[in-house]
Chains A and B, each alone.
Chain A
Amino acid sequence: MALPLINIGIVLLLGTVFIGVGWYFSRRSGGTDDFILGGGQLGIALGMTSLLAFWITGNTMLAAPESAYTYGILGALGYGMLGGAGVLLFALLSKRLHKVIPHGKSVGDFYGTRYDEKNYYVFVSLLVIYVLGLIVTQGIGGGVLLEQIFDIPYYLAVFLTFGIVIVYAYLGGFRSVTGVAYFQVLLILVVALVVPPLVYFNVGFGPVYERILADSPAKLSLTAPSGLLFATAGALLGIGEVFMDNTFWQRAYAIRSDVVAKTFGLSGIGWILVPLAIASLSFVALAFDQTPEQVNQVAPMIAQIYGGAFSGWLFLIAVWSALCSTTAASINALATLLMNDAVPRVKDDVSEDELLRYGKYFTLLVGVLGLLFSLPRILTMLQMLFFLGVINVAFVFPIVAGLWWEKANPQVVFVATTTATIVGYAAYFTIGANQGIILSGWISCVITYGGSYLWPKDFDWGKLQRVGQDVTAGGDGT
């Protein structure tokens, strides 16, 4: 089969622009602080786009339509709430973070200091699994998209996607990733503003609604059991993902403390509403019986069929940019977590330059691992999100308790998170994905709060205050 050289050229051109923008922003990148937090002085505009880049782009463009296609109207609403609820709640948490752990840089700084070593290692191990899983979903999404629509062979597509992302994430860390994300998010917002109205202008609201009502009314029900289960598990999962993922902690510290809560709040609104616009494309597929080859490709397919060739291309380029932005944010978040937390724990007297070098090595390592794990196509994006959700949800309650309640007991928290994860996955594989997530959340909540109430242990908040005042202190903070 001949390679589609023009299509590969378009991807390379766009990738070169990303790398160029990344390089431009990396010029001001100096030490470790820049590589992790971009200097920690982000305003609302860049703060919002860096938050939106994580979700509204990669996940939303493919997984929101997938959930609406599978669960109907509750899928669209539930997906909006899935991440939106988490980001809105994180607005409260971000304010608290600046107060109790003012010099922190990562979720590891908090978790390792608030609880103990064994809790920290369980948390970081599961976090690494979760982030790698998330990166893989983006890689698979990018590969499948380029293969199906641009006719680029899957393996080459994955190499192209990761290659470009790794280069600009390596150049300037958080600075490059955030600078590129600004343009990527604006591109995606324009597409979300143009494509759905264009499609609905062509097909009309009335025919879409009436056809779904006639052929599959359950998709329009607000009480369909599967949809309700999805919405409940989705909200829990979203909160868990946001609270656990270092991407959000990193941004909570990267954004100026006087605007951090406002930035998270405004982004949360975007997280709820933008997916609704994109997910609405799935209703056209349901109405006109258009079945995609892979369910997460439903939105690009509808954009191409009902929005015209230009709309289809625009949508695809935007989706690919989106997948790149989420992949870059995740690679940087994991690489900087390892750099900030893991290195000082295993190596004494690490200099600033050495730490920065480790950050760059970890960027390469995480990126290459993501690439390799993406080569076999394991799960769709939504399936992977729900699979990893069991882990996310298990840590929500320990994080909240640890930030607000001095009596939260590390021993109890260890039992809570490990039990919730094990039982959650047992339920996931034997009963169902949604049930696994809900069970994991309940077990973690009951054991964390019930156990700490019965066996309280006092915590010295001063330990968190001292974290990060010495760059070599890492997550230990004692």
Chain B
Amino acid sequence: MTLPLVVSQTFFTGMVILGIAGTFLVTLIILRYTVQEMRSNEMW
């Protein structure tokens, strides 16, 4: 049986890479605000 809308390999690979890249981005954002807020004493 052929299922409609089976994703392509590009979609599949892109999804996995998006997850990893997104994780990287979130880590960077946290570190960036950590440094910024520590400098301005606004972390806590």
Interface residue ranges, A against B (CB under 8 Å) = 38-39, 41-46, 48-49, 52, 73, 76-77, 80, 185-186, 189-190, 192-193, 196-197, 200, 205-206, 208-210, 213, 217-218, 220-224, 256, 266, 269-270, 272-280, 283
Nearest 7 interchain pairs by C-beta? A273-B22, A276-B19, A277-B19, A270-B26, A45-B33, A43-B37, A45-B34
Tell me the complex Cα distance, A82–B25, Å: 20
Q: Are A280 and B16 in contact (CB under 8 A)?
A: yes
Q: Are B22 and A274 in contact (CB under 8 A)?
A: yes
Q: Which of A42, A44, A276 interacts with B16 by CB under 8 Å? A: A276
What's the minimum C-beta distance from B12 to chain A, rounded to whole angstroms? 5
List B contacts of A278 (CB < 8 A): 19
Q: Are A45 and B3 in contact (CB under 8 A)?
A: no
What's the minimum C-beta distance from B1 to chain A, rounded to whole angstroms? 9
Q: B interface, by DSSP: helix, strand, loop or mixed? A: helix
- Complex interface residues of chain B between 1 and 44 (CB less than 8 A to chain A): 3-7, 9, 12-13, 15-16, 18-27, 29-31, 33-34, 37, 42-44
Question: Please, which residue of chain B has its CB at the minimum distance from the CB of A47?
Answer: B33
Q: A interface, by DSSP: helix, strand, loop or mixed? A: helix
Tell me the complex Cα distance, A192–B44, Å: 27
Tell me the complex Cα distance, A43–B32, Å: 12
Tell me the complex Cα distance, A200–B4, Å: 27
Interface centre among A45, A185, A186 (most CB of B within 10 A): A45
Tell me the complex Cα distance, A293–B38, Å: 45
Q: Are A196 and B16 in contact (CB under 8 A)?
A: yes
Tell me the complex Cα distance, A269–B33, Å: 16
Tell me the complex Cα distance, A73–B7, Å: 9
Given A43-B42, A73-B12, A209-B12, answer yes or no on A196-B19 (Cβ-Cβ < 8 Å). Answer: yes
